[in-house]
A and B are shown apart, each in its own frame.
Chain A
Amino acid sequence: MPVLELVNISKTFGTKTVVQSTNFSIQKGEVVSIIGPSGAGKSSLLRMINLLEVPSSGQIVIDSQPVEYKLNRASHLTFLSKFKLSKVRSKVGMVFQHFNLWEHKSVLDNIIEGPVNVNKKSKREAIRHAEELLARVGLLEKKDDYPGMLSGGQQQRVAITRALAMEPSVLLFDEPTSSLDPELVGEVLQMMTQLAEEGMTMIVVTHEMRFARQVSDRVLYMEEGRIVAEGTPEEIFESKDNARLNRFFSSLHG
């Protein structure tokens, strides 16, 4: 049974179609990478999963529950929908390209914010769990620092920890290493690889082809708002007969 399913999802901005009636599902423990040229609709597809972007049509199903929401005339979520989505969103973790840690909160406060205020855990229990997670990635001594004092790689690892502290059913990564200096990419990818090995269900939009190839169970290739190719990493990276894939891979190597 899939943890998450997108049925016939589309997204249009005015006359521009960003994602075109796409179907997608992911099983528990599966790691799926989404690759493709920029502007292919990868991030939009990912962001629609937790309604950070609102689909123009289609259905989202999380843990077998269809996600219900209403739109106002300006095609924004209604105020009531935002309240109701809270529960669904708490089950879907999200890691952003620009980390998006709350700058006015310490590392520890960033991590316990969700568990305490959304999952209604006791503060003590949330702190204990957060410290345990931080210790595992070697960031425990940074717990009282503010995000602005950390390197990009450290911030992203804290952001991943913040998402993990919610104990989500699935973790979404939106180009998690794209805004990092090259020497900081490794530490983030290593953390993600370890999560994948521990059985976390992950959907990763990425330009890191090595990660997509070595860590994913399945790779999706998107172009112009559609999933054009889909398969195991071997099928995607070693197929020589798909002209579009070939063009994309050769563009990467310059």
Chain B
Amino acid sequence: MNLETIAQVFPFLLKGALVTFEISILAIVVGTLLGFFLAVLRLSHNKLIRFLATAYIWVFRGVPILMVLVFIYYTPPFGITLSAFAAGLLGLSFNAAAYKAEIIRTGLLAIPKGQIEAAEAIGMTPWQILIRIRIPQIIRFILPTYISNSVALLKESAQVSVITVPDLMLNAQSQFSSTYMPYETLGVAAVLYLAMTSLLMTLQIYTERKLNLNAGRK
């Protein structure tokens, strides 16, 4: 282990890690919002809407992220040119939305109907019911699956390096090619990935405590 090399490459790796963190968290946020929307559409009474949402999920769950990224970056429609970061973010978000939609749908379906009826009966508006009853309960149901999926997304974000987003993977690889020291470059990058995924898992533990996830379970 060459400490000098580590000290030398570390700033590059850290810079890459920040890009990885940024693009992953943004993709999780956008994917969750879009996924929530898709989940609601999948439960619509309208057949066409249901079909479109299902088709979206079918395509984006079924096609490798790498291909989605390449298509968005190199062949965007209407003459749009996207920066590598923007294309990476879009690709990851589109992919994340498909998974998040399925996770959120499970949560929506798991809420006992009576909980919603009680809220309606007391005169809460649909908006209040969404914010105060549905979402907190959805979070309780889906949190472990949701975080696992987010951890997977953070790791898979390494694929944006293929379309030249200067993320942790790209920087680690370029440092590796110039030093040929795998542990000092890729190894350190692995530790940084682990640190970031650990952060998400800590968030899970914190949220579970905060929400009294196990409240009153005998």
A-to-B contact residues, CB < 8 Å = 50, 52, 74, 76, 79, 82-83, 85-94, 96, 98-104, 113-114, 117-118, 145-150, 159, 162-163, 166
Contact = CB atoms under 8 A, between A and B. Distances in A.
B215 interface: yes
Contact of B123 (A87, A98, A104, A146): A87
B140 A148 contact: no
Contact of B121 (A79, A94, A147): A94
B217 A89 contact: no
Q: Among A89, A96, A150, find the residue whose CB has the most chain B CB atoms closer than 10 A.
A: A89
Contacts of A149: 215-216, 218
A85 B217 CA distance: 34
- What are the 6 A-B residue pairs with the smallest beta carbon separation, nearest first? A148-B216, A90-B123, A146-B216, A100-B114, A94-B121, A100-B118
22 contacts: A50-B121, A83-B127, A85-B123, A86-B124, A87-B123, A89-B121, A92-B121, A101-B118, A103-B215, A104-B215, A113-B132, A117-B128, A118-B124, A145-B216, A146-B215, A146-B216, A147-B216, A148-B217, A149-B218, A163-B122, A166-B122, A166-B123
B216 A114 contact: no
B214 to A, nearest CB: 9
Interface string B96-131: 000000000000000010110111111111111000
Nearest to B218: A148
Contact of B212 (A82, A146, A150): A146
Interface in B170-218: 211-212, 215-218
Given A76-B45, A146-B212, A102 B122 contact: no
Contacts of B126: 79, 82-83
Contact of A83 (B114, B115, B125, B211): B125
Nearest to A94: B121
A104 B140 contact: yes
Given A117-B128, A148-B218, A52 B121 contact: yes
B144 interface: no
Contacts of B76: none
Nearest to B139: A104
Interface of B: 45, 112, 114-115, 117-128, 132-133, 136-137, 140, 211-212, 215-218
A102 B125 contact: no
A104 B211 contact: yes
B211 A86 contact: no
Contacts of A162: 122
Nearest to A95: B121
Contacts of B115: 100, 102-103
A192 B87 CA distance: 63
Contacts of B118: 94, 96, 100-102, 159
A163 B123 CA distance: 11
Contacts of B122: 89-90, 94, 113-114, 118, 162-163, 166
Contacts of B132: 113, 117
Contacts of A76: 45
B215 A148 contact: yes
A96 B45 contact: no
Q: Among A76, A149, A159, find the residue whose CB has the most chain B CB atoms closer than 10 A.
A: A149
Q: Among B112, B118, B120, B218, find the residue whose CB has the most chain A CB atoms closer than 10 A.
A: B118
Contacts of A82: 120, 125-126
Given A76-B45, A113-B132, A103 B120 contact: no
A86 B127 CA distance: 11
Q: Among A85, A103, A162, find the residue whose CB has the most chain B CB atoms closer than 10 A.
A: A103
Contacts of A90: 122-123
B135 to A, nearest CB: 10
Q: Among A91, A101, A114, A162, find the residue whose CB has the most chain B CB atoms closer than 10 A.
A: A114
A118 B123 contact: yes
B137 A89 contact: no
Nearest to B116: A100
Contacts of B121: 50, 52, 89, 92-94, 96
Contacts of A94: 117-118, 121-122
Contact of B117 (A52, A79, A117, A145): A52
